[in-house]
Structure 1
Amino acid sequence: MNKNNYSYIGIAFIILLFGIIFIPKIVNRVKNDDVTRNDRISLGQDNNFEDKEALAFIEINGKPKKVPAFSFTNQDGKTITQDDYKGKVYVVEFFFTTCPTICPRMNRNLVDIQNVFKTNSDFGVASFSITPELDAPEILKAYANKYGITNPNWNLMTGDETEIYKLANVGFNIFVGKVDDEEIGFEHSGDFALIDKNGFIRSRLDGFGNPKIFYKGIISEQEKMDEDGNEQEITMLKEDVKKLLNE
């Protein structure tokens, strides 16, 4: 047997050994979805995205909770209702433009999310002002420009105060209220709600199998956690937006 034959036998043996050791591991990783999991939060939408763990519906009296009807005026002076978000996945927040504390952080995080899905026309944001008497459309427009809000489906809305507070506290169970504080005068949650294309409130399950309901909106991905040890949930929200876009 010449040297060339020995070389071919050696190469064949190495290929066989690779197949025996590594191919089962690769197959197993594909089955467990580990190969693509880390790529799912890349910019844009992966239309082949699949996840067996569908997001939960928030149920009230055994029925999935849907966004109630609303009608407010946005930063461009247009009337916006829940129907403008049909067929879209969107994030909901309650804020006010003169808020000196959590609102700037919340909206920087939302702009971050906006930029991840900037090429997807089915993603939007609904921001409701809790000081509508101060936040006229032109004020909201200036605020949008200041923070780099460019998504055409991101509406910053103003309107009847009673209706906005009802929408927050009853419609989304996101706390909004007035406080005896001359400097601020208002208190509200820093949480975001996530809405699917059919107008239902959705979220992932926690460690006990219950819907998380909301996503922490104050802590950024860069901060990772706050001073109390609460971990950021912006990455989680991006993942879940993507999941709903692919439903």
Structure 2
Amino acid sequence: MSKKINYSYIGIAFIVLVFGVIFIPKIIDRIGNDDIIRDESRSKDVSTASDKESNKSDLSYLMINDQAKKVPEFSFTNQDGETINNEDYLGKVYVVEFFFTTCPTICPIMNRNLVEVQEEFKDFENFGVASFTITPDIDTPEVLKAYAENYGITNPNWHLMTGEESAIYKLANEGFNLYTAKDESVEGGFEHSGNFALIDKEGFIRSRKDDFGNPIIFYNGLIPESLGVDEDGIPQEITILKEDIEKLLKE
């Protein structure tokens, strides 16, 4: 009886030995090639999140009540008659402006500056511009299309949008804090900010900090880069806008 038991143990030990000789080298080989560690381990998600965080630039968020301000929901019609909303810009870095096609003063300067920015990032599919007209009764999709062609707007992610006037003004004044108003006393009949807002891939308003450590929030769009400074000695900000777009594209 004891001899049979011993033979059983010997048989089991032999099977274990054969298994080890055949399969353990294969397991070690898979580990060495990262087949198990990288593809079958939950650590993949952790490392991805860490890598994403490490790619964050030094650009600040616009904080309102201790919350990073995100682009509000919007939905308008672009120059091609397509409906464009805020989700169409997710995953893209983009610049926001408010303008109107019959503007006789600052809008032509702003859009020539933006076309220059467009050319700087023409090879980036995840860069865009959002231009909202403040005279939607005049700026139909057809009018916006002609305006885009006249200024050389070619980026497929540059949407010139029109829609309900009250929604556009609310988006400007509350959504982006970019002042917009009707004013019969000024040339063109409207007042609006000459600043640009910069938005990251997740839809947050971002900017660099000033010399005192405070976010500049917006970028002056009224002085051409080639001019350097205006007649009042105010420096152009198109250069720093380009630099900060590049930073966000790398995030």
Deviations 1:72-127 (A, max 9, x none): 00000000000110100000000000001100000000000000000100000000
Which of 188, 191, 194 does residue 184 from structure 1 map onto?
188
Larger gyration radius, structure 1 or structure 2: 2
Shift of 1:182: 7.3
Q: CA deviation at 1:181?
A: 2.7
Deviates more, 1:218-227 or 1:92-101: 218-227
Structure with greater proportional helix content: 2
Q: Give the residue type in structure 1 aligned to 2:112.
A: R
TM-score by length of 1: 0.78
Deviations 1:153-207 (A, max 9, x none): 0000000000000000000000000112375110001000000000000000011
- Which residue is equivalent to 1:73? 77
Match of 1:199 among 203, 210, 229: 203
Contact kept, 8 Å, 1:72 with 1:158, in 2: the verdict is: yes
CA distance in 2, matches of 1:152, 1:162: 27
Structure 1 residues 54-69: aligned runs within 5 Å: 54-69=58-73
- Is residue 57–residue 247 contact of structure 2 (8 Å, CA) maintained in 1? no
- 8 Å contact kept, 1:105–1:219: yes
- What TM-score, normalized by structure 2, do the two folds share? 0.77
Measure the CA separation in 1 of the matches of 2:86 and 2:226: 33
Q: Do residues 236 (structure 1) and 240 (structure 2) align? A: yes
Is 1:227 equivalent to 2:231 in the alignment? yes
Paired residues of 2:73 and 2:85 also in contact (CA < 8 A): yes
2:18 maps to none
- Provide the rounded CA distance (Å) in 2 between the counterparts of 1:183 and 1:57: 34
AA at the equivalent of 2:61: F
CA RMSD of aligned residues (A): 1.4
Would the aligned equivalents of 1:51 and 1:243 in 2 still touch at CA under 8 Å? no
Q: Where does the alignment leave 5 or more consecutive residues of structure 1 unmatched?
A: 1-49
SS of structure 1 residue aligned to 2:235: coil
Cα deviations across residues 204-240 of structure 1 (Å, max 9, x unaligned)?
Answer: 0011111100000010111111111110000000000
Q: How many residues align?
A: 198
In 2, Cα distance between equivalents of 1:175 and 1:58 = 16
